[in-house]
Chain A
């Protein structure tokens, strides 16, 4: 199993450009998440999905959109990139264990995005 993969690994954008980050998992997990990581702020949840065709907002959703058209893929889009979106982006997936509790999250290697 490849686990969770992210494409691309690095990207530099100019302000106003758009791009899509792709996350793929081969573990048949229902839940998928997009986080951003900034120095001193830990991980902040952008959007998440509890199943194919469903998405929901996390803590910092503004400026991002997501889609989950296939169970194994979770796309994160930036329609008009801003310097404040310079960050490292992590995708994760998980599954429900029991009693409504989620099992551990499996993380991808990250995408380092710089917006100039």
Chain B
């Protein structure tokens, strides 16, 4: 089965500084990759997704992610964070080899933006 690793459980960063949230997944021939954001006491909403094509994907709120097939990574970046970016971020993978029709989520990274 697929596995997704988010290496950092908590990331504190000062306002207006850049941030990178890391995500690695198990090797697979064909995957779709997603980043979700969860604000306090809310559900998950999609930030961005990689389906095919350009390996650099742009999402909402100024976030972007780069798909690296050789390193099986899909790291999320933002050049300058804002207080409102404080939230939990989840990486997810859909795997064509999986017969269980499941998505696989990482355990999440809590981003705290410090004023």
| Across-interface contacts of A70 in B (CB, < 8 A) | none
| Across-interface contacts of A110 in B (CB, < 8 A) | 42-43
B107 touches A41 (CB 8 A): yes
| Besides A58-B102, A92-B44, 20 other A-B contacts (C-beta < 8 A) | A31-B101, A33-B102, A42-B90, A42-B105, A42-B107, A45-B103, A56-B101, A97-B32, A100-B96, A101-B31, A101-B95, A101-B96, A104-B32, A105-B34, A105-B92, A107-B43, A107-B44, A107-B45, A109-B42, A110-B42
Q: A48-B101, A90-B44, A110-B43 are in contact. Are A40 and B51 (CB under 8 A)?
A: no
Contact mask for chain A residues 83-116; partner B; CB cutoff 8 A; 1 contact, 0 none: 0000000101010010111111101111000000
Interface pairs (7), CB distance under 8 Å:
A42-B108, A43-B105, A48-B100, A99-B96, A105-B44, A107-B43, A110-B42
Please report A residues at the B interface, Cβ cutoff 8 Å: 31, 33, 40-43, 45, 48, 50, 56, 58, 90, 92, 94, 97, 99-105, 107-110
Q: Name the distance in Å between B60's Cβ and chain A's nearest Cβ.
A: 13
Task: Answer whether residue B114 sits at the interface, using C-beta atoms and an 8 A cutoff.
Answer: no
Task: Answer whether residue B46 sits at the interface, using C-beta atoms and an 8 A cutoff.
Answer: yes
| Across-interface contacts of B30 in A (CB, < 8 A) | 99, 101
B32, B49, B103, most chain A CB atoms within 10 A: B103
B95 (CB) vs chain A CBs: closest residue: A101
Q: Name the distance in Å between A9's Cβ and chain B's nearest Cβ.
A: 10
A40 touches B107 (CB 8 A): yes
B49 touches A104 (CB 8 A): yes
Q: A40-B9, A99-B30, A101-B96 are in contact. Are A94 and B103 (CB under 8 A)?
A: yes
List residues of B (9-25) whose CB comes within 8 Å of A's CBs.
Answer: 9
